[in-house]
Amino acid sequence: MRRALATVTALVAIVALAMPATGIAGKSAKIVVKDDFYSKSKLNVKKNTKVTFKWDKFNLDTHNVTFKSGPKGIKKSKKPCSKGSIAKCNTSQSGSIGINFAPTFDKKGTFKFQCTIHPTTMSLKVVVK
Protein backbone atom coordinates (compact mmCIF):
# COMPACT_ATOMS: atom_id res chain seq x y z
CA MET A 1 0.00 0.00 0.00
CA ARG A 2 2.77 2.43 0.91
CA ARG A 3 4.62 1.61 -2.29
CA ALA A 4 1.50 2.35 -4.37
CA LEU A 5 0.96 5.64 -2.55
CA ALA A 6 4.60 6.65 -3.10
CA THR A 7 4.31 5.78 -6.79
CA VAL A 8 1.13 7.83 -7.21
CA THR A 9 2.69 10.78 -5.36
CA ALA A 10 5.78 10.64 -7.58
CA LEU A 11 3.66 10.50 -10.75
CA VAL A 12 1.58 13.49 -9.65
CA ALA A 13 4.77 15.47 -8.98
CA ILE A 14 6.21 14.57 -12.40
CA VAL A 15 3.00 15.60 -14.19
CA ALA A 16 2.82 18.88 -12.24
CA LEU A 17 6.42 19.75 -13.17
CA ALA A 18 5.90 18.84 -16.83
CA MET A 19 2.83 21.03 -17.30
CA PRO A 20 3.45 24.59 -18.52
CA ALA A 21 2.76 27.35 -16.05
CA THR A 22 -0.45 29.20 -16.74
CA GLY A 23 -2.18 31.93 -14.90
CA ILE A 24 -2.17 35.67 -14.71
CA ALA A 25 0.98 37.77 -14.50
CA GLY A 26 1.24 40.23 -11.62
CA LYS A 27 2.70 43.75 -11.72
CA SER A 28 5.14 43.04 -14.54
CA ALA A 29 5.61 40.67 -17.46
CA LYS A 30 8.18 40.30 -20.23
CA ILE A 31 7.94 39.39 -23.89
CA VAL A 32 11.02 38.93 -26.06
CA VAL A 33 10.79 40.18 -29.64
CA LYS A 34 12.78 37.67 -31.71
CA ASP A 35 13.35 37.19 -35.40
CA ASP A 36 9.87 36.50 -36.78
CA PHE A 37 8.08 35.71 -33.50
CA TYR A 38 7.21 37.01 -30.06
CA SER A 39 8.28 34.78 -27.15
CA LYS A 40 4.58 34.43 -26.27
CA SER A 41 1.53 34.53 -28.51
CA LYS A 42 -0.90 35.05 -25.61
CA LEU A 43 -0.42 36.73 -22.26
CA ASN A 44 -2.90 37.07 -19.40
CA VAL A 45 -2.21 39.94 -16.99
CA LYS A 46 -3.88 41.81 -14.17
CA LYS A 47 -4.95 45.41 -14.63
CA ASN A 48 -2.03 47.88 -14.15
CA THR A 49 0.60 45.35 -15.23
CA LYS A 50 3.64 46.78 -17.03
CA VAL A 51 4.63 44.56 -19.97
CA THR A 52 8.22 45.00 -21.11
CA PHE A 53 8.97 44.07 -24.70
CA LYS A 54 12.68 43.31 -25.11
CA TRP A 55 14.24 42.97 -28.55
CA ASP A 56 16.54 39.93 -28.69
CA LYS A 57 20.21 40.89 -29.05
CA PHE A 58 20.68 38.30 -31.82
CA ASN A 59 17.97 39.69 -34.13
CA LEU A 60 18.95 40.37 -37.72
CA ASP A 61 15.55 41.56 -38.94
CA THR A 62 13.60 44.70 -38.06
CA HIS A 63 10.46 44.24 -35.94
CA ASN A 64 7.82 46.27 -34.11
CA VAL A 65 4.85 45.83 -31.80
CA THR A 66 1.81 47.53 -33.31
CA PHE A 67 -1.65 47.81 -31.75
CA LYS A 68 -4.33 46.26 -33.98
CA SER A 69 -7.45 46.15 -31.81
CA GLY A 70 -8.61 46.43 -28.23
CA PRO A 71 -11.35 47.51 -25.88
CA LYS A 72 -13.73 50.29 -26.83
CA GLY A 73 -12.10 53.70 -26.66
CA ILE A 74 -8.52 52.52 -27.27
CA LYS A 75 -7.03 53.91 -30.47
CA LYS A 76 -3.68 53.29 -32.10
CA SER A 77 -0.95 55.70 -30.96
CA LYS A 78 -0.26 58.42 -33.51
CA LYS A 79 3.49 58.06 -32.94
CA PRO A 80 5.64 55.20 -31.67
CA CYS A 81 6.37 55.49 -27.94
CA SER A 82 8.32 53.65 -25.28
CA LYS A 83 6.22 53.69 -22.09
CA GLY A 84 2.99 54.88 -20.52
CA SER A 85 -0.69 53.98 -20.35
CA ILE A 86 -1.78 51.47 -22.99
CA ALA A 87 -4.49 53.95 -24.03
CA LYS A 88 -1.80 56.42 -25.14
CA CYS A 89 1.25 54.25 -25.76
CA ASN A 90 0.46 51.10 -27.70
CA THR A 91 2.82 51.04 -30.68
CA SER A 92 6.60 50.61 -30.55
CA GLN A 93 9.36 51.90 -32.77
CA SER A 94 10.73 49.54 -35.42
CA GLY A 95 14.22 48.11 -35.08
CA SER A 96 16.26 44.94 -34.79
CA ILE A 97 17.90 45.49 -31.36
CA GLY A 98 17.91 48.04 -28.56
CA ILE A 99 14.25 49.09 -28.72
CA ASN A 100 12.51 49.92 -25.43
CA PHE A 101 8.75 49.40 -25.22
CA ALA A 102 6.99 48.94 -21.88
CA PRO A 103 3.32 49.97 -21.81
CA THR A 104 1.20 49.65 -18.68
CA PHE A 105 -2.06 47.79 -19.27
CA ASP A 106 -4.37 49.95 -17.15
CA LYS A 107 -7.62 49.04 -18.93
CA LYS A 108 -9.36 45.66 -18.84
CA GLY A 109 -10.05 43.81 -22.07
CA THR A 110 -8.35 42.00 -24.94
CA PHE A 111 -5.58 43.74 -26.87
CA LYS A 112 -4.20 42.42 -30.15
CA PHE A 113 -0.78 43.33 -31.50
CA GLN A 114 1.17 42.50 -34.62
CA CYS A 115 4.52 43.20 -36.23
CA THR A 116 3.61 45.19 -39.34
CA ILE A 117 6.73 43.87 -41.08
CA HIS A 118 5.92 40.19 -40.36
CA PRO A 119 2.13 40.18 -39.84
CA THR A 120 1.58 36.51 -40.69
CA THR A 121 4.10 35.16 -38.18
CA MET A 122 4.20 37.76 -35.40
CA SER A 123 0.97 38.32 -33.50
CA LEU A 124 0.15 38.62 -29.83
CA LYS A 125 -2.98 38.75 -27.69
CA VAL A 126 -2.86 40.34 -24.23
CA VAL A 127 -5.88 39.73 -22.00
CA VAL A 128 -6.22 42.12 -19.07
CA LYS A 129 -8.42 40.97 -16.18
Q: At CB < 8 A and 24+ separation, what contacts does 85-91 make?
A: 86/111, 91/64, 91/65, 91/66, 91/67
Range of the domain at 31: 23-128
Please state the domain count of the chain. 1
79 has pLDDT over 50: yes
Each residue of 7-37: pLDDT tens digit?
Answer: 333 333 433 333 344 456 679 999 999 999 9
pLDDT band at 89 (very low <50, low <70, confident <90, very high): very high
CATH number for position 59: 2.60.40.420
Q: What angle do CA 30, 33, 58 make, to 5 degrees?
A: 120
Residue 100 within any structural domain of the chain: yes
What is the average per-residue pLDDT within 94-119?
97
In 3D space, the residue among 29, 114, 99, 13 whose CA is nearest the CA of residue 67 turns out to be 114
User: How high is the pLDDT of residue 32?
Assistant: 98
Q: Are strands 109-114 and 123-128 parallel, antiparallel or unpaired?
A: antiparallel
Residue 66 within any structural domain of the chain: yes
39 has pLDDT over 80: yes
